[in-house]
Amino acid sequence: MYKSKTARVRCDPLESRGNLEPVTKFGERIASDFVVVSKSSNGMNESYVQVVCDEYSRFISAFPRL
């Protein structure tokens, strides 16, 4: 988050992920992960956000977990 600029070109043609075919349209391949936003001191109350990223357009959306 502190890095000012990121290269948009892959160094390897998806070799590290099993030689996947390049995406050609929106929604063809997405990535999703949960991020812990806050955690209480006892570890019982945690807040999560699910982050979804489209690989073609790099569109990112986040959904809070209730």
Domain ranges of the chain: 23-65
Which pair of tokens denotes residue 30?
């997405």
Q: What is the pLDDT of residues 32-53, one digit of tens each?
A: 999 888 877 776 788 889 999 9
Confidence of residue 7 (pLDDT cuts 50, 70, 90): low
**Helix, strand, coil in percent for the chain, rounding step 5:** 5, 40, 60
Is pLDDT at 64 greater than 80 in this prediction? yes
Q: What is the pLDDT of residue 37?
A: 85
Question: Helix (H, G, I), strand (E, B), or coil: what is residue 29?
Answer: coil
In terms of pTM, does the model score above 0.85? no
